[in-house]
């Protein structure tokens, strides 16, 4: 049986590696199937926040929004 610490690790470290946050929902559904007491909403919120944080850290491109006219 996984512990709260395991779920937190997955949310903080594994979920940010997913391509899109919608995949976090799929992961949460699979975890819920393994453990009926699993708090899906709490997990999705934490994992999505971690994903967004990681996404912002990885953005290195400079957006040129200059319009020449």
Domain spans of the chain, in order of start: 4-58
Q: Are 21 and 51 in contact (CB under 8 A)?
A: yes
pLDDT digits (tens, 9 = 90+) for 17-46: 988 889 999 999 999 999 999 999 999 999
pLDDT, average across residues 47-69: 79
Helices (H), the chain: 4-9, 22-34, 40-58
pTM: 0.77
Please give the Cα distance from 16 to 66 (Å, whole number): 31
């Amino acid at each position: 049986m996984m512990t709260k610490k395991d779920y937190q690790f997955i949310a903080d470290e594994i979920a940010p590696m997913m391509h899109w946050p919608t995949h976090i929902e799929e992961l949460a559904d699979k975890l819920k199937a393994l453990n009926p007491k699993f708090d899906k909403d709490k997990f999705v919120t934490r994992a999505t926040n971690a994903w967004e944080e990681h996404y912002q850290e990885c953005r290195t491109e400079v957006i040129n929004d200059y319009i020449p006219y």
